[in-house]
Amino acid sequence: AADDRVQLNAGKVLGNYQSLTLLGRGGMGVVLKARHIRMERTVALKVLRSQAMSSPHSVKRFQQEVRAAAKLSHPNIVTAYDADEVDQIHFLVMEYVEGQDLSALVKKNGPLSVETATNYILQAARGLTFAHSKGVVHRDIKPANLLLDKKGKIKILDMGLARFEQEVGPRSSTGAGTLTQSEQMMGTIDYLPPEQAEDPEHQDAHCVVQS
């Protein structure tokens, strides 16, 4: 968007990282392909939009995504390398995965075979099982958040709506003290489990599995 403070022109520098190309846009941020200037390692940068940076709630949610990503090191989850703030611009540094998400893949090539779909679901389940073992619940699993690399490996991405199971407390009608506001829908409607629609604050691994 034109109002982004980071216009992401090739060569834009954020700390130790130089942007190369724009990979995608989301509601809260943009994702860049970038390179570490000294290490010459290619990475993906998720940068919080300027409009989101003006919202304390959005900044807290982004910080929660950073915390969730830091807990997770697994072959089926996109690895987070670093997080930083430069000139009041918040960004998360992740591994760059050359490939495409399953939503784009199906749109391009049509439905997957049962065998292939089962393989991808199993890989995603392994990643989610590991996340649950660390107390992290994703809350927005969908084809667009499952990235397929060139070797056929599935990588779960986008922890923007993730929550920590240890943060589950007494049920409250106000949502006070949480990042989920009362009566606010969390997730993507097409893939949303009914219990998450009813009570997004108190989702845990058991709810996700049962869905």
> Which residues have a catalytic role annotated?
140
Write down the residue that tokens 């200037």 correspond to.
Answer: 37
**Cβ pair 80, 70 in contact under 8 A:** yes
The residue among 1, 156, 150, 139 whose CA lies nearest residue 74 is: 156
Q: Which residues are 44's β-sheet partners? A: 33, 94
Q: DSSP code of 77?
A: B
Query: How far, in whole angstroms, is CA 18 from its chain's centroid?
Result: 21
Residues 6+ apart with CB under 8 A from 39: none
